[in-house]
Structure 1
Amino acid sequence: MSAPAGVDPAPPDPAEALALARAGAASGQRAAHPRPPAVLLALGVLVVATSLVPLGFVLWSTAQMGPAEAWDLLTRPRFADLLWNTSRLLVGGVALSVVLGVGFAWLVARTDLRLSGLWHGVLCAPLAVPAFVNGYGWISATHAVQSSYWGAVLIVSLSYYPLVYLPTVAALGRLDASVEDVAASLGVGPVASFLRVVLPAISPAVLGGALLVGLHLLGEYGALQLLNYPTLTTGILDQYRVSFNGPAATLLALVLVVFCLALLGLEALARGRRRLSRVGAGVGRPAARHRLGRSAAAWTTVLAGFAVLTLGVPLTSLLRWLLRGSSSSLSDSGLGAAIGTTLGLAIAGGLLTTLAALPVAWLAVRHRGAFSTLLERGVYPANALPGIVVALALVTVSINVVPALYQTLPLLVIGYLILFLPRATVGVRSTLELAPPVLDDVATTLGCTRAGAARRVTLPLVLPGLAASVALVSLAVATELTATLLLAPTGTSTLATQFWARASAVEYGAAAPYALALIVLSVPATWLLGRVAVVHQQSHQQSHQQGRPA
């Protein structure tokens, strides 16, 4: 029943909304989505156009090279080495991150592991340790990881596997156990059931996390530079620093974009067009936890050993340098200023980037089509570009188009938005995928406008996911290095830039306080990410116990 003209309709009654949703699902009807609102479409286009500025800069700069010069660069043995190192690091790092993330998510969410909440926090904690700080800690402990492929794969995987673990453990907590019961009734064993039933059901979460890991590996600089493992990204920085050859460097960046497009194609092909939200008359049941039995002690030992690798090694190295390093000093007045600047930029970057990702993800999920898919895919190429390329693009555009933006904090925050928009988009989209669109349709039949239905029905469902997106981007902003070095106004320094200035000068003792402060500052966002996953799982289980549909 619609509301009288000029009167804001009351919120739809949940019971009536769910009854209508169940009726629609039972009859096999699905409401057709209207064309996207013009304002939403305009916002999405504006966001994507902004994120494509660095790619346009790369294409323009590369076009300044002649074909002969470009061919000469691409056929050099050095380029072949960089291409090989980047390719195998991408394969090894993503594969190991997926194995670690999915394996530990299953152990925490689907077994009777003791103190699973504590281990969940421990497994999330590496997000608070930046990859370059992790590399610094490992190099301080042993030089065996330097100039080593397996050392590079190990360190980047220990740094980035939580990007797979977090969405996977949340997806496992929301998964209805009925599909596993059906498989068991057909004689399918637990391993086969996981591979054939559970893994396909949680594949969007796994694929989204794997995509983020791959994009981060393409743009990783600090850790790989410390490890002396050359990739296309370190080669780009070498071109700028040694020969000041901008076109040659952007040609290498264009190769990274090709890698990014390949990752996006593989992820889209694996994801398919399946809808994963569920509204039905039945009541879902949380899965029974598998008993570890005699192997419980062994798995606890494995988790403890893994915690030593991810947290013990870098933290021990930092504390050792802090206490024993002759160059260490906590009286540096710049430490407090760097903490304040880092915190402010992290909050601003996290909020703005998540807000920018919302219209893009909404179009991709609620208004599926070729154009909305193209828009969503358009935010990812910039994430494959090193921060210095994004920064140079913004510097060039600001000087020639908007000179007032040059050397300002707003330009730095825009750089963060471009760099980390894919991270926010993946998080927002995965959250929207699990909010049934039929609830919006039912709300409109009860008198709500489309905008009102989105505000009153969908947004409350996705708020935890939005909070997780803000935390995830804020972590990335706090630890960003190369773009900050170039875009930050004169006299502005962050914990990451101060750490890098001292670590690159082999002043490990002086660098340690900044690294520890960066880790401490990242703890709240890491805790929030872990807490959101737990709340999702608990609220899902409560809905089962109260007889509400998943």
Structure 2
Amino acid sequence: MDDGRSTMPLGQAGSQLLHGAAERRQNWAAYRVARRRWPLSWISVAAVAVSLAALLPLGFVVWIAILTGWDTASALIFRPRVGELLVNTVLLVMFTVPICIVLSVALAWLTERSDLPGARGWAWLAVAPLAVPAFVQSYAWVSLAPGLHGLFAGVLVSTLAYFPFLYLPVAATLRRLDPALEDAAASVGLSPARVFFHVVMPQLRLALCGGSLLVGLHLLAEYGLYVMIRFDTFTTAIVDQFQSTFNGAAAHMLSGVLVLCCFALLGLEGMLRGDGRYARIGSGAPRAVPRARLGRHVYLCLLLPASLTALALGVPFLTIGRWLIAGGAEIWRVSEIVDAVAQTFVLALVGGVLAMLAALPIAWLSVRVPGALSRLLEGGNYLVGALPGVVIALALVTVTVRVALPLYQTFVTLILAYVLMFLPRALVSLRASIAQVPVELEQAAASLGRSPARVLRAVTLRLSAPGAAAGVALVALGIVNELTATQMLAPNGTRTLAMAFWSLSGEIDYAGAAPYALFMVVLSLPVTWLLYVQSRRSAGR
């Protein structure tokens, strides 16, 4: 029957549908072939180039050791001074890391598993010390107690500066744990304490190992904190040697020993972490954990977060405020402060963006084309990211002086140092963001005839932009608080917030340094808040 509507023969319609499906399959097949070839072209070349650049400091250490010769190297390494530095380093790590573990686990349990009043606020305050640079913490404590120095001071200030690196992963893990195992252990008569130590603590092992590694690597790399409290470490000795003999063999050999210490920490963390797995198998979702009632112990338990907040945040803010008041209007040299803020902001922004661009090919390969090459490139960047900034800066100084002198003490070299130092931060953020982009969307875009490059730009990068922005912010935070590499590589006339603060505090002008310390904290607080929010969001809270 003809009802006046335009019709199409069924055979013709079916033919067009089949033709369209075939065309889409052909486009997708072409995309898959192109994607297999594409990573082997420019994106793989870019990833290999970035990884080779990242391996430059490590290759520099090996090259210098070979060039120096065994006799000279052994004479510089096996001497009493190196033994003293090694003892200081071992004692610092042995005391600080366990204290950070105990404080972080206790604080994480109180904020995530108990009915502690204001738990959400205390959780944020436990992360907030990351906004205070370690050398500002040291400045605050030295201002408060000028006689504070040595190992005790190093352990105290280091703990207050770095315990959030352990608190964050431990708290996030506690939020994700399924209480079913704890209920099963309690049902067979185990006390709450035994349930915690025999059931919960083993599931925290990965978080504890990862956080402890971060704390340990920061202890090895830190410079300003230990100079202020007069506690010698490998980093302080390397900078002293560099400033006194400029590019001398002693500084290079000390950097080699420091690199070996870093690798020892990496190996120890890998050994302690093991290959155990703690994952829920089967259907269902973990339910919320009932919070323990503190009862009459609530006020005693409040002492821990309150004391940590007072020591890690109260002392720096009160010290900065006291020096701002004591200095009066004279310390607010507006033009100099604005110039320092502008230089810091530009360096942080440029370094963050370039680090994200450098991480892009490696992150894309690791997610979309997993394999031996991708794992090798990604692992190499994480390994080099563990090297202290002083080693990276010393390598770039030597390379530019001997091979590319026009690049010595230029912004190009300084930005390159920032990218190499903080590339792992960008890589972690970008890799997680790309992994969350459904590959089906890329397939749909490819089926419409778009090239792989357009798919990457229009789909992958657009959807992963929030994570990329967070990575840029994390890199920028590191650059704002970076001191050692900036001092060694910055062109003449450069004056970042960290450099200005360090120059004035070195002259015992604590009042003049206070505005720069304040601005460093103010610039760092939003990024620290972002890190805290992302940590809770990743656990579904």
For the criterion TM > 0.5, the same-fold answer is: yes
Distance 2:185 2:461 in 1: 35
Instruction: Decide which of 301, 304, 320 is 2:303's aligned counterpart.
Output: 301
Partner AA of 2:158 in structure 1: V
Distance 2:482 2:285 in 1: 45
Residues 141-220 of structure 1 correspond to what in structure 2 (within 5 A)? 141-147=144-150, 149-220=151-222
Partner AA of 1:311 in structure 2: L
Deviation for aligned residue 1:189: 3.5
Distance 1:491 1:7 in 2: 60
Q: Which secondary structure state, in structure 1, belongs to the residue aligned with residue 381 of structure 2?
A: coil
Query: Does the 8 Å contact 2:149/2:230 carry over to 1?
Result: yes
How has the CA–CA distance of structure 1 residues 417 and 392 changed in structure 2, closer, same or farther, with 3 Å as cutoff?
same
1:107 is aligned to: 110
Distance 2:479 2:466 in 1: 20
Instruction: Decide which of 138, 143, 147 is 1:140's aligned counterpart.
Output: 143
Is 1:94 matched with 2:59? no
Deviation for aligned residue 1:132: 0.4
Query: Does the 8 Å contact 1:164/1:210 carry over to 2?
Result: yes
1:248 is aligned to: 250
Deviation for aligned residue 1:510: 0.9
Q: What are the Cα deviations for residues 62-81 of structure 1, in whole angstroms up to 9, with x where unaligned?
A: 33323222222223211110
Deviation for aligned residue 1:223: 0.4
Query: Does the 8 Å contact 1:62/1:248 carry over to 2?
Result: no
Query: Does the 8 Å contact 1:468/1:532 carry over to 2?
Result: no
Query: Does the 8 Å contact 1:362/1:432 carry over to 2?
Result: no
Q: Which secondary structure state, in structure 1, belongs to the residue aligned with residue 23 of structure 2?
A: coil
In our comparison, the structure showing a higher alpha carbon Rg is 2
Query: Does the 8 Å contact 2:442/2:460 carry over to 1?
Result: no
| Cα RMSD, aligned residues only | 3.8
How has the CA–CA distance of structure 1 residues 177 and 328 changed in structure 2, closer, same or farther, with 3 Å as cutoff?
farther
1:221 is aligned to: 223
2:54 is aligned to: 51
How has the CA–CA distance of structure 1 residues 350 and 61 changed in structure 2, closer, same or farther, with 3 Å as cutoff?
same
Distance 1:296 1:457 in 2: 51
Distance 2:464 2:274 in 1: 22
Deviation for aligned residue 1:253: 0.7
Q: What are the Cα deviations for residues 115-146 of structure 1, in whole angstroms up to 9, with x where unaligned?
A: 11211221111111100010010001013421
Q: Which secondary structure state, in structure 2, belongs to the residue aligned with residue 5 of structure 1?
A: helix
1:25 is aligned to: none
Farther-moved stretch of structure 1 (280-289 vs 247-256)? 280-289
Instruction: Decide which of 78, 97, 121 is 1:75's aligned counterpart.
Output: 78
Query: Does the 8 Å contact 1:3/1:9 carry over to 2?
Result: no
Distance 1:283 1:81 in 2: 53
Distance 1:36 1:210 in 2: 39
Q: What are the Cα deviations for residues 385-431 of structure 1, in whole angstroms up to 9, with x where unaligned?
A: 443432232244345656665444343222112112344456667x5
Distance 2:211 2:453 in 1: 30
Q: Which secondary structure state, in structure 2, belongs to the residue aligned with residue 152 of structure 1?
A: helix
How has the CA–CA distance of structure 1 residues 47 and 376 changed in structure 2, closer, same or farther, with 3 Å as cutoff?
same
Query: Does the 8 Å contact 2:107/2:304 carry over to 1?
Result: no
Residues 449-460 of structure 1 correspond to what in structure 2 (within 5 A)? none
Q: Which secondary structure state, in structure 1, belongs to the residue aligned with residue 422 of structure 2?
A: helix
Query: Does the 8 Å contact 2:235/2:390 carry over to 1?
Result: no
1:498 is aligned to: 500
Query: Does the 8 Å contact 2:430/2:471 carry over to 1?
Result: yes
2:128 is aligned to: 125
Distance 2:501 2:477 in 1: 16
Partner AA of 2:166 in structure 1: V
Residues 228-239 of structure 1 correspond to what in structure 2 (within 5 A)? 228-239=230-241
User: Gaps spanning 5+ residues in structure 1: where?
Assistant: 11-33, 542-550
Q: What are the Cα deviations for residues 440-480 of structure 1, in whole angstroms up to 9, with x where unaligned?
A: 6x989999899999999999998776555443332211010
Distance 2:353 2:107 in 1: 30
Query: Does the 8 Å contact 1:97/1:157 carry over to 2?
Result: yes
Deviation for aligned residue 1:258: 0.9
Deviation for aligned residue 1:82: 0.6
Query: Does the 8 Å contact 1:382/1:390 carry over to 2?
Result: no
Distance 2:173 2:454 in 1: 28
Instruction: Decide which of 395, 401, 407 is 1:393's aligned counterpart.
Output: 395
Is 1:5 matched with 2:23? yes
Is 1:419 matched with 2:437? no
Q: What are the Cα deviations for residues 90-111 of structure 1, in whole angstroms up to 9, with x where unaligned?
A: 2222222222223222221121
Instruction: Decide which of 321, 324, 339 is 1:322's aligned counterpart.
Output: 324
Distance 2:511 2:409 in 1: 31
Q: Which secondary structure state, in structure 1, belongs to the residue aligned with residue 491 of structure 2?
A: coil
Partner AA of 2:389 in structure 1: G
How has the CA–CA distance of structure 1 residues 61 and 89 changed in structure 2, closer, same or farther, with 3 Å as cutoff?
same
Distance 2:430 2:527 in 1: 17
Distance 2:176 2:525 in 1: 26
Greater RCO (CA < 8 Å, at least 6 residues apart): 1
Distance 1:81 1:285 in 2: 52
Partner AA of 2:213 in structure 1: L
Residues 289-438 of structure 1 correspond to what in structure 2 (within 5 A)? 289-325=291-327, 329-357=331-359, 360=362, 372-398=374-400, 405-425=407-427
Distance 1:194 1:381 in 2: 33
How has the CA–CA distance of structure 1 residues 384 and 231 changed in structure 2, closer, same or farther, with 3 Å as cutoff?
farther
Distance 1:304 1:426 in 2: 32
Distance 1:297 1:460 in 2: 49
Task: Provide the identity percentage.
Answer: 44
1:486 is aligned to: 488
Deviation for aligned residue 1:529: 1.1
Farther-moved stretch of structure 1 (353-362 vs 185-194)? 353-362
Distance 1:133 1:497 in 2: 12
Partner AA of 1:5 in structure 2: E
Distance 2:173 2:363 in 1: 18
Could you state the TM-score of these two structures normalised by the residue count of structure 1? 0.81
Distance 1:171 1:459 in 2: 29
Deviation for aligned residue 1:7: 8.4
Farther-moved stretch of structure 1 (462-471 vs 329-338)? 462-471
Distance 2:168 2:137 in 1: 20
Deviation for aligned residue 1:493: 1.7
Distance 2:295 2:167 in 1: 24
2:4 is aligned to: none
Query: Does the 8 Å contact 1:471/1:529 carry over to 2?
Result: no
Partner AA of 1:220 in structure 2: E
How has the CA–CA distance of structure 1 residues 41 and 516 changed in structure 2, closer, same or farther, with 3 Å as cutoff?
same
Distance 2:205 2:164 in 1: 16
Deviation for aligned residue 1:525: 0.7
Farther-moved stretch of structure 1 (468-477 vs 306-315)? 468-477
Q: What are the Cα deviations for residues 476-508 of structure 1, in whole angstroms up to 9, with x where unaligned?
A: 110101211232233222100000111111111
Aligned length: 511
Q: What are the Cα deviations for residues 327-363 of structure 1, in whole angstroms up to 9, with x where unaligned?
A: 9510341101111221222233334334544655676
Distance 1:78 1:221 in 2: 18
Distance 2:201 2:141 in 1: 33
Q: What are the Cα deviations for residues 237-267 of structure 1, in whole angstroms up to 9, with x where unaligned?
A: 1211223352211111111111111122222
Farther-moved stretch of structure 1 (519-528 vs 161-170)? 161-170
